[in-house]
Amino acid sequence: MTIALEIPKFDKPVKVLLAVAAQHSDVVVSLVQTATDCLDDLNVAWDRIDVPSASEIAPSIGIAERMANFDGYVALGAILDDGLLHSETEFRDAHHALTLLGLQGLCVGNGLLAVNPNENYAHKGKEAALAALHLIALSRKWGAQRKGIGFKPSFDEYQIASGGTTV
């Protein structure tokens, strides 16, 4: 039984990066379409980068986190489920890398799939976009509850040094 979550609502604008693996473009095109349709319907700003394969999705998100200003990320890609060890290893490693980004606090919706070309996976793009939005909502909810601890100022407070002597 699947429990449908309410679509999160935001009081401030949200910007999401879609990191898309170019492999198996026939599947990825539909993933991207449903993800972008979902984000557009919810008035969420988004940008897109394309990388050669699923292995580069997590590093590209890591770079974007360090050098750009996104609230969350949607990882989209397809790895052919051909039963070969290489494909299985690539899939597991890419998923593991995305999980590690999430554990570091990044809001990543995972739409990386092991696919059979005869099946339709289009809805997974929308699901990954919604997952990222839910994580962003949690991040904003809990991020606003910070309180000063020791010498650390509270979330909305800035402390400016003044006075003293210059050496």
Domain annotation covers residue 161: no
Q: What domain count does the chain have?
A: 1
Q: % helix / strand / coil in the chain, to the nearest 5?
A: 45, 20, 40
Burial 68-83 (b: 16+ CB within 10 A, else e): eebbbbbbbbbbbeee
pTM: 0.81
Domain annotation covers residue 135: yes
Per-residue pLDDT of the chain (167 residues; tens, 9 = 90+): 566 788 999 999 999 999 999 886 778 999 999 999 999 999 999 999 999 999 999 999 999 999 999 999 999 999 877 666 667 888 899 999 999 999 999 999 999 998 876 777 878 999 999 999 999 999 999 886 555 555 555 555 555 555 555 54
Which residue range is the domain that position 133 belongs to?
15-143
Domain annotation covers residue 61: yes
Residue from 137, 76, 143 nearest 107 by CA: 137
Domain annotation covers residue 110: yes
Domain annotation covers residue 148: no
Count other C-beta atoms under 10 Å from residue 146's C-beta: 13
pLDDT at 45: 98
Q: 71: domain CATH number? A: 3.40.50.960
Domain annotation covers residue 167: no
Active site residues: 86
